[in-house]
Amino acid sequence: MKRVLSEKDIKEAARKGQKTIQISKSIMVTSAARDTAKSLGITIEQISDSKPDVTESKTEKVKYKGKIAIGSDHGGFQLKEKLKTHLEELGYTVFDVGTSSEDPCDYPDYAFAVAKLVSTGEVNKGIMIDAVGVASAIVANKLSGIRAAACQTEFAARSSREHNDANVLTLGGRILGLDLAKNIVNIFLNTEYAGGRHQKRVDKINDIDIKYRKS
């Protein structure tokens, strides 16, 4: 699996005064890393695997875990940026659908963008952050195949995965601290769907989805 060059690596290089980072062609460069490198005037050079460098050795143990869509409105922007870095450091490829600042915007636009990527199978799961988290869950659940859960506790995150096979997590950027948000995200992504007695209930959700889906 490809290893990852994250935004954190770029910032560390900038702190050391590096203007060029050489990495193996097998290392994946996250979008956040490229944006940060550009803003800091750092050049990323990808070379053959026969010339590994310090950056490669730093990321050697990071394993690719899948694709995650993430988005927010202005109320969730700050938390989104921090969670995006967290996800990249864990080994996920992150698709950031916006927003890109704290300027006022409309949460349905970004909740839809996240849910659509999940619904079409382009990513494994989605995370959407607005001020409270409930509004984005309402939007996401309008899309076929989406089971979005607004989680404010670790227990809710675990239950939403074990019992409901939730595939989109929505969070409140103005009600959750960073540490709790990270824990909720980790639990959501690492908890397997239990199936068994829960399957017939998820099947009923899917039946409703199919029955009332507009052609």
Residue 16 clears pLDDT 80, i.e. is over it: no
Q: How confident is the model at residue 133 (pLDDT cuts 50, 70, 90)?
A: very high
Q: pLDDT tens-digit profile of 167-184?
A: 999 999 999 999 999 999
Residue 57 clears pLDDT 80, i.e. is over it: no
Which pLDDT score, from 0 to 100, does residue 21 have? 83
Which pLDDT score, from 0 to 100, does residue 60 have? 46
Residue 159 clears pLDDT 60, i.e. is over it: yes
Query: Contact, 22 vs 50, CB < 8 A?
Result: no
Q: pLDDT tens-digit profile of 31-54?
A: 787 888 888 888 888 776 554 444
Residue 108 clears pLDDT 70, i.e. is over it: yes
Q: What mean pLDDT value characterizes the chain?
A: 88
Q: Is the dihedral of CA 129, 209, 145, 196 positive or negative?
A: positive
Residue 58 clears pLDDT 60, i.e. is over it: no
What is the value of pTM for the model shown?
Answer: 0.72
Residue 83 clears pLDDT 60, i.e. is over it: yes
Q: Which domains does the chain have, with CATH numbers?
A: 3-58 (no CATH), 66-197 (3.40.1400.10)
- Which tokens go with 201? 């209930």
Query: Contact, 29 vs 3, CB < 8 A?
Result: no
CA distance 215 to 209: 12
Which pLDDT score, from 0 to 100, does residue 41 have? 85
Q: Is the dihedral of CA 184, 139, 30, 75 positive or negative?
A: negative
Residue 99 clears pLDDT 50, i.e. is over it: yes
Which pLDDT score, from 0 to 100, does residue 4 have? 74
Query: Contact, 26 vs 48, CB < 8 A?
Result: no
Which pLDDT score, from 0 to 100, does residue 214 have? 67
Which pLDDT score, from 0 to 100, does residue 48 have? 62
Residue 2 clears pLDDT 90, i.e. is over it: no
Q: How confident is the model at residue 62 (pLDDT cuts 50, 70, 90)?
A: low
CA distances from 189 to 12, 27, 160 (A): 27, 23, 11
Which pLDDT score, from 0 to 100, does residue 101 have? 93
CA distances from 57 to 6, 14, 101, 189, 199 (A): 13, 18, 33, 26, 43
Tell me, yes or no, if 163 is annotated catalytic.
Answer: yes
Residue 59 clears pLDDT 90, i.e. is over it: no
Question: Residues of the chain with pLDDT > 90: what percent?
Answer: 67
CA distance 176 to 99: 19
